[in-house]
Chain A
Amino acid sequence: MNNDVVLTGILLMSIITFASRALPFYFIEFFKEHKAIQFIGKVLPLPIMIILVFYSIGDISFIQYPYGLPEMISIMSIIIIHTLKRNLLLSIFVGVISYSILFCLMS
């Protein structure tokens, strides 16, 4: 990891992140006027999060043993526990435990 790149990257990310948080405060009129922006901002985050889920799983094969089952079953258990309890830490904890057990059992 090239540290110069990292430091520049931090600066870049900092500005972009702040901008995304500041947008409604400083551009409230522009924001309210353009329906397209509202639509994008409302609809796009969910697909992005879902894509991130698959991205973070990385290279798994659904056709080779263990067929991605530890990941899929753990994700299902997170969905179930989170819709029931809506507790961030609990859900993550359940998911990681479930994955650890399944991973050890199946690999």
Chain B
Amino acid sequence: MQANLMFKTFKSALYETIPVIFGYIPLGMAFGLSFVKAGGTYYSAILMSIFVFAGAAQFVAIAVFVSQDSLSALAMTTLFINLRHIFYGISFVGKFPSDKFFKKFYMIYGLTDEAYSILTTTRHPKDDQFYFWVILISHIYWVLGTIIGTVAVRYIPYEMPFLQFSLTALFVVLAIEQAYTVKSIYPFIIAVFASLLGLLLFKSNMLLVSITISSVIIAYLYKRGYAL
């Protein structure tokens, strides 16, 4: 691609990713801050944001590290939280460059919730160079937010319960976005039931238990032929 055209595509991507700034910088900061406050090193936080690039999973990982759960618990938790990404790729099969291995690898690698929503709703002509810039820019914002967060720890000496709730808020929003794709009430009922049961029995360790309960109920419904 000519340099001129590439620059134009870059500028469009920069414009289209403005909403990402407002999402990833504060959230990245919250992550970096929480991670360091929980006892992690600043560079581990940054490494995680570079190499994992998954907000929800990264936040939950902090809790897993603190409670000193096993790595297999971490693996399972990460897997479940990131399951929804499986469906993001479907829209882009065949649209990512098949001749450039590393570019394609990176673009698949960076397919986050935000990237997906931008790439599927943008009115810009859908060429892979544009996709690439959107993902790269988003990634940079995320890492930048994390860096700022790890640095800000020095200047924020007290605990902020509000920061903790911003994570809850994120999950609520992600849940609503998921709810738009599922047309049934059953998952909601199953989840609330499993959550309350898990909280009752296991308090803060309810995550995998509740997910297991939900999976079992859903698998049972599937076997019984519920189309959902």
> A residues engaging B (CB < 8 A)?
1-3, 5-14, 16-18, 20-25, 28, 31, 36, 39-59, 71, 74-75, 78-79, 82-83, 88-89, 91-92, 95-96, 99-100, 103
Contact = CB atoms under 8 A, between A and B. Distances in A.
Contacts, number: 251
A36 B228 CA distance: 13
B interface, by DSSP: helix, strand, loop or mixed?
Answer: helix
A99 B71 CA distance: 33
Interface string B50-66: 01111011111100111
Interface residues of B, number: 89
Q: Tell me if A's interface is mostly helix, strand, loop or mixed.
A: helix
B76 to A, nearest CB: 9
Nearest to B76: A16
Given A3-B44, A9-B71, A25-B92, 16 more contacts: A6-B41, A10-B47, A21-B85, A21-B89, A21-B109, A22-B89, A23-B86, A40-B218, A51-B198, A54-B206, A55-B210, A82-B173, A88-B19, A99-B165, A100-B161, A103-B162
A52 B54 contact: no
Contacts of B65: 1-2, 5-6, 9
Interface stretch (B123-131, B137-145, B186-194): B186-194
A34 to B, nearest CB: 12
Contacts of A17: 52-54, 57, 78, 82, 85
A95 B171 CA distance: 11
B48 interface: yes
B174 interface: yes
9 contacts: A13-B52, A13-B61, A20-B82, A43-B218, A52-B207, A53-B168, A82-B176, A88-B173, A100-B161
B211 A48 contact: yes
B169 interface: yes
Contact of A28 (B93, B164, B191, B211): B93
A55 B56 CA distance: 12
A70 B113 CA distance: 28
Contact of A3 (B41, B59, B173): B41
B222 A25 contact: no
Nearest to B222: A39
B111 interface: yes
Given A16-B75, A59-B203, A92-B173, A46 B52 contact: no
B136 interface: no
A16 B78 contact: yes
The residue in A8, A13, A96, A103 that gathers the most chain B C-beta atoms within 10 A of its C-beta is: A13
